[in-house]
Every structure is written in structure tokens, then in C-alpha cells.
Amino acid sequence: MLRFAAKRLLLALAVAFAVSVIAFLLLRVSGDLAGTLAGEEASPEEIERIRALYGLNRPLVAQYGEWLLRSLSGDLGRSLFYPESVAALILDRLPNTTILASCGLVIALLLSIPLGMVAALRRNTWIDRTALGLAVLGQAMPSFWFALLLIFFFGLTLGWLPVSGTESLANFVLPAVALGWFSTPVLMRLTRAGMVEVLAADYIRTAHAKGLPVHVVLVKHALRNAVAPVVALASVQFGNMLSGSVVIETVFALQGIGYLAWEAISRKDFPVVQGILLVVALFYVLLTLVSDLLNAWLDPRIRGG
Amino acid sequence: MKPAPTASTSAEATSPEAVPVASSSRRRSRWLSNPGLVVSALVLVTIALLAAFAPWIVPHDPYAQALDARMLPPAFVDPERADPAHLLGTDNLGRDYLSRLIYGARISLLIGFFTMLVSGTIGTALGIAAGYFGGRTDSVVSFLITTRLSLPVVMVALAVVAVLGGSLEVVVLVLGLLLWDRFAVVMRSATMQVRGREYVTAARAIGCSVPRILWSEVLPNVVSGLVVIASYEMAQAILLEAALSFLGLGVQPPLPSWGLMVSEAKELMLFEPWMIMLPGAAICILVLAINLLGDGIRDATAPEGRA
Amino acid sequence: MSGTADLLLDVRGLEVDIPVAGGTLHAVRGISLAARRGETLCIVGESGCGKSLTSLALMGLLPPSAKRRAERLSFAGEDLLSASPRRLRALRGDRMAMVFQDPMTCLNPSLTIGDQLTETFLRHGKGNTRAARDRAVTLLERVGIAAAANRLGQYPHQLSGGLRQRVVIAMALMCGPDLVLADEPTTALDATIQLGILQLLAELQREMHMALVLVTHDLGIVARIADRVAVMYAGQVVEEGTVGDVFGAPRHPYTRGLMDCIPQPGRTVPGTRLGTIPGMVPSLVGELRGCSFRGRCPYAMPACAEPIALREGPDGHSWRCVLPAEALARAA
């Protein structure tokens, strides 16, 4: 386990490094940053002045080194629009996105695991086909459109739930459903596949032979084995939700990381964009690391070895 | 001490190995007997034909504004206000919605197809290289895949489009550079399986060059998996383009991207909900058709996918 | 032999049908069996003859697609055919337990040995956690596992195949069952440890005064530990009786053929070839009439194509064959 963990950690560090390089380069090579910052009517002298001001005339490697060192010490630079530092902005918005993604994940798991289980238990019946059909349909719906439909029906027409803001948990319900909906199909399919495989296993027959009640067989003996890959995928999905929060938070005007990213991108507030990219990517790296370790720990064959 | 097992059981006689290889006619009937495959193919062909012949089909110029005919609903929504000349109504600038939807299909299909081409080329090349050469190449490709997966697609795409400006080409390029990971993962494992087969060993033994082996021995045998991923990634690209355009950082107005149409209609959602329903449903139908086609091809080729 | 009071398992006319592509597979066709307390019944036959399905059918553990029918299926006087699922679960694991074929796959990989052993005990309300643990340790020691207390915290993958099968046996015995069904408990194991496991089962059967139904194709072990033998062929019991009667004076040509396949001290001439049974087991899909062995039987005659009546001799020896009772004895 230790050996596995060490290897996995090393990979995570390497990926984190690569991600930081990409986050840095993405906004440096994809255009003339100084020109963009100075605005379209700026004179060449003005652009040069801005270039010097932001240190954009120095070699890329030096710029990257400096940026990385500063970022590692928690200084992600300053926003071009807000008075706060990038780090402060991100920290300020992070709780909302974390609540949103957590609720989204909980909703996705609450939908996908029971549905996947029932589909597996009633394989090739109408229940199974309905669940699979919903999964296919769910994967085909654009997330922003689904979010708008939720707003239209539950917010505007029925008036059950607020459609924007972050005042109470009720404000998070619709965005979380919209976000969770898109992780549900893939998690459901995986649960179903896992359950189908596990239910055919000899140890399930053993459990029945012991006279255990059906729910004990299903939950303790079957689900535990079927759900390990689902757990691993769920944490990856959590990372995807952070990324997908751009769309959902924008639709619901929910003041989180995603909304901040969209604002910053629209206003070409590049230090903020870069900071968010770095934080979200590193968070994803961390999540995949945790998920791999968790998965290994759930599987005693890896844990012991 | 066992009784001599001279007899084979009746259960073994019906084992899958005994199933004869499907003849071409049987294969054809299997393709046709899959309703999902047939329906999705028909839907897709219809949309593609509409898109291809859009200039000759559309009832109106999709860009022609008519300020005296704004937000006319389709007949099935409100027959009182509807104008029979605009079958699906008009948008907030009085442009014919049906014409815009048909032109929107062009954008979705173009972006979906070319993105899939770009990402498919990158992913397949990386995946086959990793699977065929293994060792260090494999480690490097695996590392690239892991790194790519760590990047938040929507954010990166938005940022790049913001810098380079929104256009069809930029969107295709950015999405193409971001969506190759699944191709690489699947092609890598498929190539690994094929690499060990006798015909590849034989080709190597008679001195075929590596590119020749990859092109004429490996690629044809992993291609059925490729088609399935390609359909899936095309659907992904269409959804992402719609999202980017919806957020105002993809295809720019006045182009009638379906995502953009939803975005333009969202302020009017409470009064004219059909205006977000139609383009959203269009995306949904197109993506559904592509996904079902991919699933259908997978199911139809799976038992024969001995490659 | 014991009287009817000790009759634990009483089966009449058990049938198992499995729907397959070309129709219905009649895997088990009208089997009658009886198992008494303190007695070992061995079910023998080639693979595919339906003996494993029979044991699953007795436990009510057939896959959902398989259909079970019987004229009578009772356990300790209780009708299992009409028993509720809840009642069946109460019996399973408590009074009737099962030892499965493959110890590598029949233990749950993600639960500890201790958890899997004690859960039977706890579920059937035999005592508290401590009592369950003590019982588990005692049984593990009894089945020959050293450092039993330490094993409780281990996972199946940390144990060898032989040890795992001992765990599976201990697991079956946790509640002190009246009947243990063992379905080829050693086929998945190395030949060197097979005998030890079977001897252990036989010992435990005597010690705990249980009924043991052992499904096997190992005639050597049958001769050593069985009280009664049921020989199965193509889904039917073709001959049944005490081990002495069946092996000493087989009445069915198939039993005779099985006997000739194994070397017997004092009978088999060294250097000669062992017998084989030529031909194939008939397909069990669709209706079958007459003796299913007639296609391979050296004594086959026109009467074999007609339905074969069950014939009975002393000591409950019964067989399905039209040959005169002494025909095979003379042939030997």
C-alpha cells in the first residue's frame, strides 16, 4: 500500500507541475497579453510600458519561475478589476462552489446508486430499460438548457424554489440538481455494471446459502464490492463538477468559482483566470490521488500488498 | 480417480464457440433489427441533409431581421398570434426561427465533425503509439492523458476563446486539442491487444516497416472501437460548443448557433418559453441520435469484434 | 440404518428445467433422495449430469431462470415447497448449510474471515458477538487452521485455497446444522489436499451427528466415507442404495461402467487398460423417453426405449434398468 501510495503521489506531483506550466503558458502564448491589457486603442509605447510593468518582456522561463514561486507561497497575483488579491477572491467564492458540488454529488449518488442497483436486479425489464433510457437522455441534454428548464418549471412557473443567490440551502437545490444530473448517467451505468457482475459472483450465492436477509446480501455483500469503482469515479466526477460549475453557476448567477471564472474570462482579467485554472486543476489532481488511494484501500487485495 | 470424462456435456455443445461466423446477410439483418440504430441513423441523415442543403431549403433568410414581426410564436404554441409564414415563429429580432435552426444544424455538425477529426487524429496517434511501442512511449502518453484530464475543459476552452476571439475555427481547434483523451485511452488498450496477435507478429517477421504495420495491420483492427468513440466525442463537442456559445464565448452572433439561440432567448424565458425549448430540443435530438448511433454500432459489432 | 424419525431430507420427483436457446433443458428429471441424520449420502456422476443443480435445488438456491418442481421436498418433516422465503432463510445457514465448490470465489473478497464466519451465527440469533467469535475460533481450530484467532482479521486473498475451503467448511458449521450439502468441495483444490478435506468432512459428520450430502465424482472417496450412494446419469438417479450394495453388486450398467473406470486393488490386473464408457451423454433439451444411457450401453435392447420402471431390492437398493438383477454380477 505504501509503495503504491508513494508511486501515485509522485505521479500526482508530476502532473501538478505539468498543469501549472499549462495554466501559465495558456494565457501567455495564446495572444499578446500586454496588447489585450492595454486595450484596442493603445499606442505601441503604451503596450511596451504595460509589458514592462507586468514583467512580460522577460524570458518565459523566468516569468514562469517567478509566478510558480509566488503561487506556491499563496500569492496568485492581483485582479485587474477587483481590489482583492486573486487568492482572496478564490477563497471568498470557494465555499459556494464546494457546497454546490457536494450537493450535486450527493444528488447524483442518491439517484444513480439506487437506480443502478434496481436496474441490475431487474435486468432486461422495463425498469432497467427506463433507467438506461433516462441515462441516455440525460447525457444528451445540454447542461445550460437543463438548468434553464429547471428554472422555468420549478422557479418561475411553480415558484417552489429560488432561482439565484446563495442565501440559504434552498438556493442551492436547483443548481445542485442541474449539476448532479450530468454525473448521474455515468455513475448509474457503472453501478449497474458492477452490480450485474457482483450478483453473479459465487460469494453472493454463499451469502444466500447462509440464510441472510435479502437486504444484507445486497448491501453488505454485493453493493460493497460493486461500489468501489463508483466511489473512485465519484471523486473524479466531483472534480468535473468544479469545472462544470462554470456553466451552472453562470445560469443561476451563483457567486462561486465558476461564476468568477466566467466573469474574469469575459473581462479578460487574466490573473484571476490563471489562478482559478491552477487551483481547479490542482484540486482535480488531488481528487484523483485521493480516489486512487481510497479505491486501493477499499480493495483489501491492494491494501494488504 | 475420476470416471473417465469421455463424454462432453450437452451444455458444452451449445457453447458460444460453436456459433458459426455470421454471414454478411445475417450481419445486415442484425444491423437492421436494431431499432435504436435505424432510427438514430435516419434522424442523423435527415439533419445532415437539412444542414447540407440549408440555403435551398430554408423558407427565409436566417439573418434577415424584421422588427415588425418579432417574437411571433409557432402555430402550435399560440395560433392567434402565429404567422403561417414562420412555421416555428421568429426570434427577438424577427428572424425566422426555423431557418435559423436549420442553419444552426450546420454549425453543430461542422464543429462536431471537425473537432472529432482533430481530437481523433491526436488521440488515435498517441494511443496507437503508446499501445504499440509500450515502455517509455507508453509512460509519456499516459502522463499526457492524466495531465489532460486534470484540466477543466470548459474553463480552459473559455479562456482560450476569450484570448483568441470566438470563431468556428478557434472553437474547433480548442475543443479538438482538449477532447482527445478518450481516443487515446481506448486506442491504447485496443492496440495493446492487437499487438500480440499472430498477424502482427507475422508482418513484423517478414520485415514490414513500423508505419506500414500500424497502418495496414493495427489500424483496421481497432477501427470498430474508434467509430464508437468518435460518435461519442462528436456529441461531446456539439454539447461543449453549445455551452461555450451560450456563455457568449464560442460562436459569435449573428451566427445561429443553437447554444447562442438559447442564450438570446433566456431573458424572454418567462414570456416565450418555446424560444429556449426549440434550440435546446434540437441539440438534444442531434446528440441523442449521435449517441444512439454509436451505441447501436457498438452493439452490432461487439460479438464480431474479435479484432 | 436409522428409522424414519431421523429422516432429514425427503425428496420425491425433483425436476429442474432451464430455458435455453433451443427449448427447455431438463437438467434434473424426477429425482428421489433421502438423507438421514448421522448418515452420509454421496451423489456421484459425470460432470453435467445435474448433480450440482440438484444440490442447489435442495437448498433453494437455483438461478432465477431455472424452474424447480417436486412431488415432495421436505426437511425434517417440514415442507420446503410451500415454505415462505423468510422461513427458508431461517433454515438456510442454520439447520441446513452448504459447502460450495470453489473456495477461491465463494468467499467475499472484501470482508474479513471473521466477519463472514460470525455473520451466520449472529443472523440466526445464536448468541452475541463474543459467543460468535469464540465459536468461530473453535471451529477454525477444529478444521485444522493454526493461529485461528489471528485468522479472523484476515481477508480471503491472504489464505491458500486449502485453508479457504477449511474456512468455508467452518462457516457451514457455525450454527451446528443438521444437514450439510457439499457440492464437489475439492474439485478446485490441489490433488494433494483433496483427501484431507474430504476426510475432515467425514469426521465432522460423525462428530456432529449430521446428515452429509456429498456431491462428487470421486468414487474412491465415496467408497470410503459414504453410507449410501446415488448414481446420477443425465439428470436421473439410475441407481441408489447402500455403498456396499451399489459398489458390491451394481444393478445398472452405468454404475458398472463407472466402477470399471477406477483401478481396484485385487481386481484390476496391473498393466491392463482401465475401462472407459464410449459415446456421449444425450442432449437433455426437449422430451426424453426411455433409458438415457441406452446409446452407450453394451446391453441395450428394444425395451430400453420404453419408460423404465424403478426396481427395488433389499435395503432400499433401487435402480432403473430392465436387465435381470443378476445380469451384471455374472458379467463381472
Residue range C168-181, pLDDT digits in tens: 999 998 998 999 99
Chain C residues inside the 8 Å CB shell of B10: 25, 48, 281-285
Chain C residues inside the 8 Å CB shell of A207: 108
Whether B7 is covered by a domain: the verdict is no
User: Binning pLDDT at 50, 70 and 90, where does residue C262 land?
Assistant: low
A271, A273, A279, A283: CA torsion to nearest 10: -170
Mark whether C210 and C289 lie in a shared domain.
Answer: yes
CB contact under 8 A, C280 and B1: no
d(CA A258, CA A261): 5
Whether B6 is covered by a domain: the verdict is no
Does any CB of chain C come closer than 8 Å to the CB of residue B8? yes
CB contact under 8 A, B163 and A36: yes
Whether B9 is covered by a domain: the verdict is no
Out of B164, B266, B270, the one facing A30 most closely (by C-beta) is B164
Whether C250 is covered by a domain: the verdict is yes
Does any CB of chain C come closer than 8 Å to the CB of residue B5? yes
Res C264: pLDDT:
62
User: Where is pLDDT greater, at C49 or A190?
Assistant: A190
Does any CB of chain B come closer than 8 Å to the CB of residue C63? no
Mark whether C139 and C245 lie in a shared domain.
Answer: no
Its ipTM equals 0.85
Cell numbers found for residue A105: 454529488
CB contact under 8 A, A212 and C119: yes
Cell numbers found for residue C114: 471473521
- What percent of chain A has pLDDT above 90? 6
> Using one digit for the tens of pLDDT, what is the confidence trace for C29-47?
888 888 999 899 999 988 7
Res A292: pLDDT:
81
Does any CB of chain B come closer than 8 Å to the CB of residue C13? no
Mark whether C186 and C60 lie in a shared domain.
Answer: yes
Whether C93 is covered by a domain: the verdict is no
Out of A139, A156, A243, the one facing B155 most closely (by C-beta) is A243
Nearest CA in chain B to A249: B247
- Burial level of B45, CB count in 10 A (0-12/13-18/19+)? exposed
Residue B168's domain is classified under what CATH number?
1.10.3720.10
Cell numbers found for residue C6: 431421523
Range of the domain at C127: 103-174
Q: How far is B277 from chain A (nearest CA, A)?
A: 8
Whether C94 is covered by a domain: the verdict is no
Chain A residues inside the 8 Å CB shell of C155: 300-301, 304
Mark whether C122 and C263 lie in a shared domain.
Answer: no
Average pLDDT, rounded, for chain C: 84
Mark whether C247 and C315 lie in a shared domain.
Answer: yes
Whether C263 is covered by a domain: the verdict is yes
CA-based end-to-end distance of chain A: 6
Out of B149, B153, B160, the one facing A26 most closely (by C-beta) is B160
Q: Is the pLDDT of residue A124 over 50?
A: yes
* Count of all residues that appear for chain C in the document: 332
CB contact under 8 A, C279 and B6: yes
Mark whether C161 and C186 lie in a shared domain.
Answer: no
Whether C29 is covered by a domain: the verdict is yes
Hunting for cell 435527415 — which residue is that? B46
Mark whether C135 and C16 lie in a shared domain.
Answer: no
Find which of A122, A199, A203, A297 to mutate to test the C interface (most C CBs within 10 Å of its CB): A203
pTM: 0.78
Q: What is the number of CB-based contacts under 8 A between chain B and chain C?
A: 53
Out of C93, C110, C155, the one facing A211 most closely (by C-beta) is C93
Distances (CA, A) of B42 to A133, A151, B48, B278, B285: 19, 33, 10, 20, 12
Q: How far is A89 from chain C (nearest CA, A)?
A: 44
Whether C191 is covered by a domain: the verdict is yes
CB contact under 8 A, A19 and B273: no
d(CA B16, CA B14): 7
Domain count for chain C: 2
Whether B68 is covered by a domain: the verdict is yes
Q: How far is C123 from chain A (nearest CA, A)?
A: 7
Whether B72 is covered by a domain: the verdict is yes
Q: Is the pLDDT of residue A164 over 80?
A: no
Does any CB of chain B come closer than 8 Å to the CB of residue A148? yes
Mark whether C204 and C315 lie in a shared domain.
Answer: yes
Whether B240 is covered by a domain: the verdict is yes
Q: How far is B307 from chain C (nearest CA, A)?
A: 27
Out of B1, B8, B10, the one facing C284 most closely (by C-beta) is B10
Whether C127 is covered by a domain: the verdict is yes
> Using one digit for the tens of pLDDT, what is the confidence trace for A29-40?
655 666 666 666
Whether B236 is covered by a domain: the verdict is yes
Res A25: pLDDT:
82
Could you say which of C174, C195, C212 is where a domain stops? C174
Domain count for chain B: 1
d(CA C257, CA C261): 6
Mark whether C273 and C201 lie in a shared domain.
Answer: yes
Res A35: pLDDT:
67
The stretches of chain C forming alpha helices (DSSP H) are 51-59, 85-91, 113-123, 129-142, 148-151, 161-173, 191-208, 219-225, 243-248, 253-260, 327-331
CB contact under 8 A, B8 and C25: no
Out of C20, C21, C218, the one facing B1 most closely (by C-beta) is C218
Res C332: pLDDT:
44
Chain A residues inside the 8 Å CB shell of B44: none
Mean pLDDT of C143-149: 87
Q: Is the pLDDT of residue C225 over 80?
A: yes
Residue C47's domain is classified under what CATH number?
3.40.50.300
Whether C27 is covered by a domain: the verdict is yes
Taking 50 as the pLDDT cut, the residues of chain B under it are 1-22, 303-307
Chain C residues inside the 8 Å CB shell of B11: 25, 48
> Using one digit for the tens of pLDDT, what is the confidence trace for A272-281?
888 888 888 8
Find which of C65, C216, C283, C288 to mutate to test the B interface (most B CBs within 10 Å of its CB): C283
Mark whether C121 and C162 lie in a shared domain.
Answer: yes
Does any CB of chain B come closer than 8 Å to the CB of residue C22? yes
Mark whether C10 and C119 lie in a shared domain.
Answer: no
Could you say which of C174, C190, C210 is where a domain stops? C174
Range of the domain at B49: 44-305
Mark whether C146 and C197 lie in a shared domain.
Answer: no
CA atoms within 13 A on the CB side of C62: 22
> Using one digit for the tens of pLDDT, what is the confidence trace for A128-159?
888 888 888 888 899 889 988 888 888 877 87
Out of C102, C155, C168, the one facing A304 most closely (by C-beta) is C155
Could you say which of C174, C192, C207 is where a domain stops? C174
Nearest CA in chain B to C260: B3
Decide if A115 contacts A216 (C-beta within 8 A). Answer: no
> Using one digit for the tens of pLDDT, what is the confidence trace for A49-73?
777 776 777 777 888 888 888 888 8
Whether B117 is covered by a domain: the verdict is yes
Does any CB of chain A come closer than 8 Å to the CB of residue B271? no
Q: Which residues are C236's β-sheet partners?
A: C233
- What percent of chain A has pLDDT above 70? 93
